């Protein structure tokens, strides 16, 4: 269980969602590379990489209570939505699970970004 400070406690749900999404994207990316139709998955693989990276970075920014967390999380939500849409096109279980995780992360990031902007 992560140790959160008072500053990051309110962000913990979003941090957890970003970490879970990053892991799902990394696992899906690896699984897609091993599928027989890998050529048809090029766009999905590219977006998976972007999504994993932005989720990891968003988690890091929130964990250090960066003043740029809300902006980054707004971008993270956009990329997670794009990744969910790409993964949803694939019928594999790993892609469908990843799409679900991306949608959850996008929702948490939007919530976090709007709450943080409203607090300013």
**Residues 29-42 pLDDT 10s:** 999 999 999 999 99
**Residues 45-94 pLDDT 10s:** 999 999 999 999 999 999 999 999 999 999 999 999 999 999 999 999 99
pLDDT at residue 35 in the model: 95
CATH number of 12-119: 1.20.1270.360
The CA-based angle 43-44-49, given to 5 degrees, is 100
User: Per-residue pLDDT averaged across 17-33, rounded?
Assistant: 98
Backbone angles phi, psi at 49, to 5 degrees: -65, -45
20's enclosing H/E stretch is helix 12-33
Task: Enter the pTM of the model.
Answer: 0.90
Domain ranges of the chain: 12-119
Q: What is the mean pLDDT of the chain?
A: 92
């Amino acid at each position: 269980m992560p140790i959160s400070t008072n500053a990051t406690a309110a962000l913990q749900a979003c941090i957890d969602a970003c970490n879970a999404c990053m892991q799902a994207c990394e696992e899906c990316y690896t699984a897609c590379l091993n599928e027989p139709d890998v050529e048809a998955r090029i766009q999905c693989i590219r977006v998976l990489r972007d999504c994993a990276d932005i989720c990891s970075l968003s988690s890091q920014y929130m964990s250090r209570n960066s003043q740029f967390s809300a902006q980054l999380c707004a971008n993270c939500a956009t990329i997670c939505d794009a990744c969910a849409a790409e993964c949803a096109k694939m019928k594999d279980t790993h892609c469908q699970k990843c799409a679900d995780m991306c949608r959850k992360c996008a929702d948490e990031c939007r919530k976090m970004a709007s709450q943080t902007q409203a607090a300013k």
